[in-house]
């Protein structure tokens, strides 16, 4: 029983079907099976079928002795549908006469015993296959209980705390001699732009690692006085030449952070590998994230010391500068040791997985460019943001008063519970639904939009406006003021290089990628981003890159010709969709064609397109059908990509980046549908991301 993950024997079969295993085919022949197109006998269900077989033994005997059946309706059904019963019996019978090219005995797992096979499949992440391996009737382990890789041995007591010039010189010279060294930094803060350097750890081979403290302030001696450590200037003088030497490969985990910290402390890094990005090129979207702790557990079978174990948590959490040197060394040197071991294990896999080009030509060259972007930051006009915050706040108060008046009394607009009660109980608006988890009324944006558009609710309209202002104020105008670095007067976002399944960057702390542009309020916020006096802001982008890529990848000659001639893709699409000459396409038709063009790339459904265009689902479905009739190559391409994702578990960009889509194997239809739609978009969006990242890496020299 694959659903219950249990082995079924004769007793369980009889309990389920009411007959022993040898008679199951007879029961199925009478009851039928619509999913397999077995007709059965009309009017006979599972229980009565079992009763009849227990009484008469098999279908043929039942037909021959039909006149003995006491129930007239059943007797008539058997006599009238005897041929259907016989056909059904043949349909459910396994064909035992098929010639086997190999005897069954030859197919047994004799060379590969089940136990090691299970261990291998579990280590490689084949969770569904693990559950299918037959080991003689023993229940297979649950998918989540996959065996971890063999644990590597770590001797934290062997790590060295470097506090003398002689030992520092040895480590730097040995790194230069070997040509490869893992590097990690410990700092006073999470922000690489604001953090002070507390120490540097190095690893030369598994188990051979050290920690070089430079900024510890206490915890190392009597009464917490500053522990013995080398001056920062002395460490800079010895490490800087080695870190800047391109002949020495520096291996880091998310090395962008360490490069920024070291560069700010006069130790720029040249020549590097990044285990996070290597893992990202290999496994983006597959088995969790690419953080060091997770990679260590996944590939080394080892759980590193957690930061909270040495620094504590909450109000009592120490700065790393206050952690005693013995604990700091065990924690920091282990990070470098783990990073080196991960590099040794993961780097060779780039070639076998055929993603070397993605890592070497796209992801790794972008690291110093993005590091420089984060260091430079962007200037914002605090006065503009403060004015907008005040205006948004005043508008929110006015909207709140209007909403209270329309609702017949005051309530907390931010309370889901109170809002639901007002909308669906006090105002008795139709169509409300409650959440299965909390039992509260659903009041999300989609529900408010339904009430505003379908029910004409003025309260819902005002609530949507209030929510928009609340988000703009809290997420942008207030947050951006707080994010201004006092030392630079600029906002320094952090770009995540290994966060999306398609290779695109993401921005956080603060997020500068989602500032609205289509609304006037959003455009006002964007005007707060300014250039220094005597400088300008420029924008560089590709024109309709994803549509051009779709034309190329799906081999759509009509679209390729328009791209090559510099024509208007949306106007050409509108002409074909609406049956008018290109010169007669009006603004609304072009706008609809543009929406359809981009929606198709994202594998949109008729329901989704109807919402974007404000038309019925039937009309949206008709648009999609007409689009595919105009460009059948795109439908073929989409079908090919979905099939490839189902077969391989991933699709690829033109550069070879693998966009893994485990959702396509989900038993949940919604998840599976999402995965198949992503399979259509990921190669196009991922290739666009690769091209733009290649361009970003070349921009500094071009400028």
Report pLDDT digits (tens) over 421-480: 999 988 888 888 887 777 888 898 888 988 887 788 899 999 999 999 999 999 999 999
Mean pLDDT over 90-116 rounds to 78
Confidence band for 146, pLDDT divided at 50, 70 and 90: very low
Q: Report the 10 Å Cβ neighbour count for 541.
A: 8
Q: Would you give the DSSP letter of residue 466?
A: H
Phi (first) and psi of residue 665, to 5 degrees: -100, 5
Q: Report the 10 Å Cβ neighbour count for 612.
A: 14
Angle at Cα 469 formed by Cα 468 and Cα 472, nearest 5°? 85
Angle at Cα 403 formed by Cα 397 and Cα 406, nearest 5°? 145
Q: Would you give the DSSP letter of residue 38?
A: B
CB 525 within 8 A of CB 472: yes
Q: How far is residue 259's CA from residue 638's CA, in Å, rounded to a whole number?
A: 41
- Helix, strand or coil, per DSSP, at residue 440: coil
pLDDT of 140 strictly over 80: no
With CA atoms as reference, report the closest residue to 634 among 686, 599, 672, 592.
Answer: 599
Residue 135 pLDDT:
56
168 vs 659, more confident: 168
Q: How far is residue 193's CA from residue 235's CA, in Å, rounded to a whole number?
A: 20
> Exposure of 223 by Cβ count < 10 A (0-12 exposed, 13-18 middle, 19+ buried)?
exposed
pTM: 0.74
- Tens of pLDDT, residue by residue over 49-58, are 998 999 999 9
- Helix, strand or coil, per DSSP, at residue 397: helix
Q: How far is residue 168's CA from residue 170's CA, in Å, rounded to a whole number?
A: 5
Q: Which of 28-42, 494-508, 595-609 has the highest mean pLDDT?
A: 494-508
Determine what percent of the chain falls in helix, strand and coil, rounding each to the nearest 5.
60, 10, 35
| Orientation of helix 632-648 relative to helix 545-553, angle to 10° | 80
Q: Would you give the DSSP letter of residue 532?
A: P
pLDDT of 35 strictly over 90: no
Q: Report the 10 Å Cβ neighbour count for 194.
A: 15
Q: What's the chain's Rg over C-alpha atoms? A: 33
Q: How far is residue 576's CA from residue 630's CA, in Å, rounded to a whole number?
A: 7
Question: How does DSSP assign 213-231, residue by residue?
Answer: ESS--SSSSGGGPPPP---
| Orientation of helix 606-613 relative to helix 617-630, angle to 10° | 110
Residue 287 pLDDT:
63
DSSP element (H, E) containing 391:
helix 382-407
Q: How far is residue 318's CA from residue 312's CA, in Å, rounded to a whole number?
A: 6
Q: How far is residue 338's CA from residue 182's CA, in Å, rounded to a whole number?
A: 9
Q: How far is residue 257's CA from residue 495's CA, in Å, rounded to a whole number?
A: 10
544 vs 388, more confident: 388
Residue whose tokens read 């700091």? 328
Q: How far is residue 250's CA from residue 264's CA, in Å, rounded to a whole number?
A: 17
Q: How far is residue 529's CA from residue 395's CA, in Å, rounded to a whole number?
A: 23
Q: How many CA atoms lie within 13 A of 377 on its CB side?
A: 22
Angle at Cα 380 formed by Cα 378 and Cα 381, nearest 5°? 160
- Helix, strand or coil, per DSSP, at residue 274: strand
pLDDT of 111 strictly over 80: no
The rounded percent of the chain whose pLDDT value lies above 70 is 95
Q: How far is residue 616's CA from residue 224's CA, in Å, rounded to a whole number?
A: 72
CB 203 within 8 A of CB 333: yes
Q: Which residues have a Cβ under 8 Å from the Cβ of 359 and sit 6 or more positions away?
A: 277, 278, 281, 350
| Orientation of helix 557-565 relative to helix 569-578, angle to 10° | 140
pLDDT of 144 strictly over 60: no
Q: How far is residue 645's CA from residue 459's CA, in Å, rounded to a whole number?
A: 45
> Exposure of 87 by Cβ count < 10 A (0-12 exposed, 13-18 middle, 19+ buried)?
middle
CB 689 within 8 A of CB 559: no
Residue 147 pLDDT:
55
Q: How far is residue 661's CA from residue 281's CA, in Å, rounded to a whole number?
A: 14
Residue 142 pLDDT:
40
């Amino acid at each position: 029983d694959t659903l219950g993950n249990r082995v079924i024997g004769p007793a369980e079969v009889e309990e389920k079907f009411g007959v022993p295993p040898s008679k199951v085919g007879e029961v199925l022949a009478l009851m039928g099976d619509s999913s397999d197109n077995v007709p059965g006998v009309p009017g006979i269900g599972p229980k009565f079928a079992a009763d009849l077989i227990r009484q008469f033994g098999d279908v043929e005997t039942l037909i021959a002795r039909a006149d003995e059946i006491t129930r007239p309706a059943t007797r008539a059904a058997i006599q009238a549908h005897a041929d259907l019963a016989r056909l059904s019996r043949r349909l459910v019978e396994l064909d035992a006469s098929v010639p086997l090219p190999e005897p069954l005995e030859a197919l047994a797992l004799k060379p590969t015993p089940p136990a090691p096979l299970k261990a291998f499949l579990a280590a490689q992440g084949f969770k569904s296959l693990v559950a299918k391996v037959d080991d003689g009737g023993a229940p297979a382990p649950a998918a989540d209980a996959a065996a971890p890789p063999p644990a590597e041995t770590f001797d934290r007591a062997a790590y060295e705390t470097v506090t003398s010039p002689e030992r520092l010189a040895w480590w730097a010279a040995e790194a230069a001699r070997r040509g490869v060294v893992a590097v990690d930094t410990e700092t006073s803060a999470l922000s690489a732009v604001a953090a002070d350097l507390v120490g540097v750890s190095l690893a030369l081979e598994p188990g051979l690692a050290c920690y070089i403290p430079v900024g510890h302030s206490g915890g190392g001696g009597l009464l917490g006085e500053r522990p013995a450590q080398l001056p920062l200037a002395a460490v800079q003088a010895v490490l800087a030449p080695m870190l800047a030497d391109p002949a020495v490969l520096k291996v880091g985990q998310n090395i962008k952070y360490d490069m920024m910290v070291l560069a700010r402390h006069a130790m720029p890094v040249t020549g590097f590998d990044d285990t996070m990005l290597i893992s990202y090129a290999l496994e983006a979207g597959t088995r969790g994230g690419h953080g060091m702790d997770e990679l260590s557990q996944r590939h080394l079978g080892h759980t590193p010391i957690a930061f909270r174990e040495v620094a504590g948590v909450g109000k009592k959490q120490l700065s790393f500068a206050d952690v005693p040197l013995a604990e700091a060394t065990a924690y920091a040197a282990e990070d470098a040791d783990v990073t080196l071991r991960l590099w040794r294990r993961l780097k060779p896999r780039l070639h076998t997985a055929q993603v070397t080009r993605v890592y070497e030509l796209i992801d790794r060259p972008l690291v110093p460019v993005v590091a420089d972007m984060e260091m430079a930051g962007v200037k914002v006009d605090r006065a503009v943001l403060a004015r907008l915050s005040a205006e948004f706040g005043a508008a929110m108060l006015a909207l709140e008063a209007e909403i209270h008046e329309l609702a017949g009394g005051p309530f907390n607009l931010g309370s889901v519970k109170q809002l639901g009660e007002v909308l669906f109980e006090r105002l008795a608006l139709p169509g409300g639904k409650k959440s299965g988890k909390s039992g509260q009324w659903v009041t999300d944006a989609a529900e408010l939009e339904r009430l505003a558009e379908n029910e004409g609710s003025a309260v819902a309209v005002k609530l949507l406006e209030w929510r928009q202002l609340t988000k703009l104020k809290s997420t942008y105008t207030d947050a951006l003021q707080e994010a201004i670095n006092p030392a630079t007067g600029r906002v320094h976002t952090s770009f995540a290089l290994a966060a999306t399944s398609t290779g695109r960057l993401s921005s956080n702390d603060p997020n500068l990628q989602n500032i609205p542009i289509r609304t006037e309020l959003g455009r006002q916020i964007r005007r707060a981003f300014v250039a220094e006096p005597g400088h300008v802001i420029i924008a560089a982008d590709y024109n309709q890159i994803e549509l051009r890529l779709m034309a190329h990848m799906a081999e759509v000659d009509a679209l390729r010709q328009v791209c090559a001639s510099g024509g208007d893709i949306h106007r050409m699409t509108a002409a074909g969709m609406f049956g008018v000459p290109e010169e007669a396409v009006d603004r609304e038709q072009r706008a609809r064609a543009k929406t359809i063009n981009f929606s198709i790339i994202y594998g949109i459904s008729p329901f989704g397109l109807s919402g974007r265009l404000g038309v019925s689902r039937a009309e949206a479905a008709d648009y999609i059908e007409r689009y595919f009739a105009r460009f059948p190559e795109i439908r073929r391409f989409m079908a090919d990509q979905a099939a490839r994702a189902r077969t391989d578990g991933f699709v690829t960009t033109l550069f070879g980046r693998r966009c893994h889509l485990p959702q396509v194997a989900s038993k949940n239809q919604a998840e599976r549908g999402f995965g198949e739609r992503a399979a259509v978009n990921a190669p196009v969006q991922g290739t666009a991301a690769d091209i733009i990242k290649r361009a970003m890496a070349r921009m500094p020299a071009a400028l």
